[in-house]
Structure 1
């Protein structure tokens, strides 16, 4: 119960700050306050507006905000978000473009489950939609999943990816971004033994910690500085009574967000101070640069405790993927069994989260893959975010990834979708 109390305390603090912000904003906007000749009133209103928005975003899943895409015919085509495979802990969704023939490039984006929603890859999706049929893994917030649905750890995550790949069929090109890269590599190797015909055509791994020890960073080396017992005591709580997942052990998003912000506290403090000033002076807007970034950055989700702890223990501490010793459902996964899936790695020269060397290690593990099916790219001057969503992605990396996909696209199979756990609906 003390873990529930801690979880509810964090939510109480968040809720209180949201209320204080709303109160200050409403009071500062009261017409009679305009008669007070003092800048304090406008600053109070601005502080309240920024504070309310910030704390409200922490418990709200962002919208995809993708209404349409321009087709080859020059017309705007509406985009429907369709759930292709529905599962308790995550769905496979399809950005279905109305009035457009299915694109030859079928891409499955594997989004991170590392504290943020899949919408973190919104700009990546937008950049691929004109040229590809885009699917993405949409992971659910653990606080909203009843305890009756059971556990969800790295092995379950890997099996979800296996089923998603089977569903989409062999003409799929998989792109994994950051955290899921090692597990996506493992899922592909699992398929290589279980169902080789269901393997994707290509696998692109972007900034993923395949071998965290290759070039350790402050983030990837964190697990080596604490014991698993210390980690569980400090990070794991039970979901409080407010949500459907009441009682489920989780690594709370709010707790992880506090860690994110603490890493660059001065930078964030300056950003919020400047935004309050802009609001007070009437220079801010609903979708300005600050709001666009922090609406996504502050929107966090809980991870199941077993997923978080098994990730730290097996991927970062024991380096099971890097040592090719990963086990799924009692079966050892041999990455060397990948023999005909083209693999490309992408790294950023200035990546301080997954430093260069960690991701390209995947190519050495693919001992059964011929050299002509291996590729790597190191983007000069790019940080972690830039290699999948920033200027480096748009101008340099995206064209290279599309070229890699085209080079490894075999004959198209008509109706190449399996019927694994299929449950379609529009959302």
Structure 2
């Protein structure tokens, strides 16, 4: 009950701040106050509007906002977001463009389960549906999953990816962004040994912690400084009574958001002060840059306690993927078994979450893969977000990733000799 009370206390604080914002906005917006203009009332209304919106977004799952797409025929076609595989902790979605012929490239985007919803990759999806059939993993908020559904840790996550890959078939190109990169690599290795005919054509790993110790960051240092007991005591709570997952142990989204904001507290504080001033001057809009960013950034989800704790323990502390000793259901997954799936890594030179060196470590683990099927790219000047959704992604990384997929789209031949040149001409690993 103690941890459940903590969970409900956080929700109470969030709800109270939302109410305070709405109350301030309503009070300062009374028409009668317009008779005597007062800058203090304008500021109060602006503060209320920004505060209410910010705290309200914390418990709302963002909409994909992808409704139509203009095809080569010049017509706007509806985008139907279909659930093709439904599971308790996450679904496989397909962005089906009605009336458009099926595209030859099939891409599975593996979204991170690290506090934000899969909609964080909205810009990535929009850029890929132009000429691809795009599928994405849509992870569920743990607070909405009944305890009767059981546990969900990194082994279960890996097996979910295995099932999604098997469903889509061997013509799939997998792109894993950030947190799921190590587990996508493990899932591919699992398929290579258990069901080789279901392996994807390519695997692209973007900014993921394959070897967190390769280039330490504040994130990896935190994982090494604290004990698992400290994490369980300070980060884990039980879902309150108002949700379907009542009693489930989780790492609450609101607690995660506190950690996110504390990493750049000054920048976030200044951003909200500037937005309040813009609202007071009548310069803000419902879909301005501030609201577009924070509507997504503030929308957080709970993750199961066992997933969070096993991620910290096995990926960051014990480095099971980096040491190639990761196990699933008691069976060791040997990354060296990957012999046909072309693997590419993408890193940002200014990434302060998964620093350069952490992701490219995957190529050294693929000992059974010829150099011709390995490639890496380091994007100059790009931070973590930019390598999958920003200008760097749009202008440079996306074309390189698609080029890599095209170069490895043919069915692999068991008796084929390794090519003399790399699968992708940019920075192939040696």
Asked if 1:32 is matched to 2:32, the reply is yes
Post-superposition shift, 1:100?
0.4
Which stretch of structure 1 is more off in the superposition, 28-37 or 296-305? 28-37
Asked if 1:313 is matched to 2:309, the reply is no
Q: How many residues align?
A: 412
1:365-416 deviations in Å (ceiling 9; x for gaps): 000000000000000000000000000000000000010011111259xxxx
Q: Tell me how large the CA RMSD over aligned residues is.
A: 0.8
Q: Match of 2:221? A: 221
Provide TM-score, normalisation by structure 1. Answer: 0.96
Q: Match of 2:404? A: 404
Higher relative contact order (CA 8 A, sep 6+): 1
> Separation in 2 of the partners of 1:362 and 1:227?
27
Post-superposition shift, 1:36?
2.9
> Separation in 1 of the partners of 2:37 and 2:294?
32
Q: Which runs of 5+ in 1 are unaligned?
A: 413-427
Provide TM-score, normalisation by structure 2. Answer: 0.95
Give the 5 Å matches for 1:267-346: 267-346=267-346
Post-superposition shift, 1:220?
2.0
Q: What SS is found at the alignment partner of 2:4? A: helix
Post-superposition shift, 1:68?
1.1
1:295-324 deviations in Å (ceiling 9; x for gaps): 000000000000000000000000000000
Q: Match of 2:193? A: 193
> Separation in 2 of the partners of 1:106 and 1:37?
59
Q: Match of 1:168? A: 168
Contact 1:221 1:316 in 2 (8 A): no
Q: Which runs of 5+ in 2 are unaligned?
A: 413-430
Give the 5 Å matches for 1:239-250: 239-250=239-250
1:209-242 deviations in Å (ceiling 9; x for gaps): 0000000100122110000000100100000111
1:119-162 deviations in Å (ceiling 9; x for gaps): 00000000000110000000000000000000000000000000
1:66-98 deviations in Å (ceiling 9; x for gaps): 011121222221100000000000000000000
Q: What SS is found at the alignment partner of 1:389? A: coil
Contact 1:22 1:49 in 2 (8 A): yes
> Separation in 2 of the partners of 1:307 and 1:161?
15
Asked if 1:358 is matched to 2:393, the reply is no
> Separation in 1 of the partners of 2:388 and 2:139?
18
Give the 5 Å matches for 1:28-107: 28-107=28-107
Which stretch of structure 1 is more off in the superposition, 71-80 or 146-155? 71-80
Q: Which runs of 4+ in 1 moved over 3 A?
A: none
